[in-house]
Amino acid sequence: MVDNGFCIIHGNINKNISLLAHCYSGNIEMLRNGCMFTGRKTPVHSYRFATGSAYLIGSLRNKRLLRYLARHFTGGLPVVNGAEILYQLSTQLVSAALGLAEGDFCFFIEDRNGIMTLLTDACGQNPVYLVNAGDRWITDKLKLISALHDRGIQHDPQAGETAVSTGCHIQRILTGTLNVFRFSNADCQVCESRQLLRPARMPLAIEGNIQ
């Protein structure tokens, strides 16, 4: 049983993702251009805004610091939701500010056109894969996708970042990167992928109290 983990399918849904809820205990949420499955014990926070939605899967280790920074852009109003915290930092500051986030997480924003901007954690605590197996997936648990196919999907670490199994192309998304995906019926195009600054090794010193 997979209690923790997620997978996102974007574009056309060629497989019945409800099979995941049958094979593994979890939840399904529809996206603007696809859907997302999360295990029943997977922490998920979402934040809706005018032109899209933001999702934080997992947990932030330095949430208090990030919340303190985000409050400067909300008129002093408290920001509790981790997805909103990262959204405020990414929109009010430069996107590189997301490099301050530490923890076991994956964060993504989907806009009204179905374009996805995805951040992976800098320390690689939560490896994330892009899988093309007839349909296109983003996941941290390859066995979740195996449930929808007649064959198993395995990633061979000996083959490096990219491995190919029977009928499947598997690519690990690099850690600490901000990736923009544009999905069409025919292909998944990575519009942009760039490395963000890694979190500081020493805690940042901030004057005053952090609420």
pLDDT, tens digit (0-9, with 9 covering 90-100), for 128-182: 998 877 677 899 988 777 766 655 554 444 444 444 455 677 888 888 888 888 7
Structural domain spans, the chain? 6-195
Q: What type of residue sits at position 60?
A: L
Q: Which residue has the higher pLDDT, 74 or 186?
A: 74
Q: Which of 3-17, 22-36, 65-79, 124-138 has the lowest mean pLDDT?
A: 3-17
Distance CA 149, CA 137 (A): 13
Tokens 């600054």 identify what position?
197
- Angle of CA points 21, 24, 26, to nearest 5°: 55
Query: What is residue 62's predicted lDDT score, i.e. its pLDDT?
Result: 92
pLDDT, tens digit (0-9, with 9 covering 90-100), for 46-65: 999 999 999 999 999 999 99
Q: Is the pLDDT of residue 205 over 50?
A: no
Query: What is residue 203's predicted lDDT score, i.e. its pLDDT?
Result: 43
Q: Is the pLDDT of residue 207 over 50?
A: no
pLDDT band at 75 (very low <50, low <70, confident <90, very high): confident
| Most confident segment among 11-25, 68-82, 179-193 | 68-82
Cβ pair 43, 24 in contact under 8 A: no
Return the SS3 of 169: strand
Q: What type of residue sits at position 173?
A: I
Q: Is the pLDDT of residue 110 over 90?
A: yes
Q: 6-195, superfamily in CATH?
A: Aminohydrolase, N-terminal nucleophile (Ntn) domain (3.60.20.10)
Q: Which residue has the higher pLDDT, 180 or 23?
A: 180
Mean pLDDT of the chain: 76
Query: What is residue 158's predicted lDDT score, i.e. its pLDDT?
Result: 45
Query: What is residue 210's predicted lDDT score, i.e. its pLDDT?
Result: 38
Long-range contact pairs involving 200-205 (C-beta distance under 8 Å, separation at least 24): 204/65
Q: What residues contact 101, with CB distance under 8 A and at least 6 apart?
A: 60, 62, 66, 86, 89, 107, 119, 121, 122, 199
Residues above pLDDT 90, as percent of the chain:
20
Query: What is residue 164's predicted lDDT score, i.e. its pLDDT?
Result: 42
